[in-house]
């Protein structure tokens, strides 16, 4: 297992559309384990494979890791099969857009289908933070970041803040 570096915007790889996983095998489980380790190391609650540069439709998530007990969940080839008309607004952040937090409205309730770590088909109904996080991660699979859902002005301010932080990090 290894912690891998997380790509940050405006890295063009974050805009890639990830491809379907064909078989859930040991190599994929090794990727899932690296993703979980990278997510925990960065104090995130979710991570899409593209955030560590792998364009595959794989997500890991652990919403209650703050409780101390690790309970990572893997979602392979997830699909939203139903979404409510009703929306819910959460303040979102992203490990690939560090230190930026903005409100995003998304369907409040969703039903999703996916393969788990063993390659078994699963179905899930979600609301609250789980629904938000799953949609945020599934956006990554399409090359979409949460800042793509906010106003153009807020997005350009966020990207400028990010560029400045990167510059400061480089010059020390």
Q: Which residues bind Ni ion (CB under 5 A)?
A: 94
Give least dist CB 128 to Ni ion, A. 17
The tokens of 140 are what? 């990554």
- How far is the CA of 1 from the CAs of 4, 35, 54, in angstroms? 9, 9, 15
Please count the CA atoms within 13 angstroms of the CA of 125 that sit on its side-chain side.
2
Residue placing its CB nearer to ligand GNR in the complex, 64 or 118 = 64
Sole window of 14-22, 63-71, 112-120, 136-144 interacting with ligand GNR (rule: CB under 6 A): 136-144
In the complex, the smallest distance separating the C-beta of residue 136 from ligand GNR, rounded to whole angstroms, is: 4
Binding string, 37-56, against ligand GNR, x = CB under 6 A?
-------xxxxx--x-----
Per-residue b or e along 78-108, where b marks 16 or more CB atoms closer than 10 Å to that residue's CB = bebeebeeeebebebbbbbbeebebebebbb
Footprint (CB under 6 A) of ligand GNR, residues 105-134? 132-133
Spatial separation of the C-alpha atoms in residues 68 and 47, rounded to whole Å: 18
CB of 41 to ligand GNR, least distance (A): 12
Question: Rounded to whole angstroms, how far apart are CA atoms 119 and 74?
Answer: 10
25 versus 64: smaller Cβ distance to ligand GNR: 64
Point out the residues that are catalytic. 137
Residue numbers at the binding site for ligand GNR (CB under 6 A): 44-48, 51, 90, 92-96, 132-133, 136-137, 140
């Amino acid at each position: 297992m290894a912690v891998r570096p997380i790509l940050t915007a405006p890295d063009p790889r974050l805009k890639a559309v990830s491809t379907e996983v064909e078989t859930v095998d040991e190599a994929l489980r090794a990727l899932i384990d690296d993703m979980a380790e990278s997510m925990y190391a960065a104090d995130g609650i979710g991570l899409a494979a593209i955030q560590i540069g792998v364009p595959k439709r794989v997500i890991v998530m652990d919403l209650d890791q703050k409780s101390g007990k690790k309970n990572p969940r893997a979602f392979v080839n997830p699909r939203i099969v139903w979404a409510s008309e009703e929306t819910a607004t959460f303040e979102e952040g992203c490990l690939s857009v560090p230190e930026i937090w903005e409100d995003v409205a998304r369907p409040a309730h969703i039903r999703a289908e996916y393969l788990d770590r063993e390659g078994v088909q699963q179905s899930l109904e979600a609301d609250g933070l789980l629904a938000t996080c799953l949609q945020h991660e599934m956006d990554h699979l399409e090359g979409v970041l949460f800042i793509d859902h906010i106003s153009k002005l807020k997005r350009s301010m966020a990207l400028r803040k990010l560029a400045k932080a990167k510059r400061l990090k480089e010059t020390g």
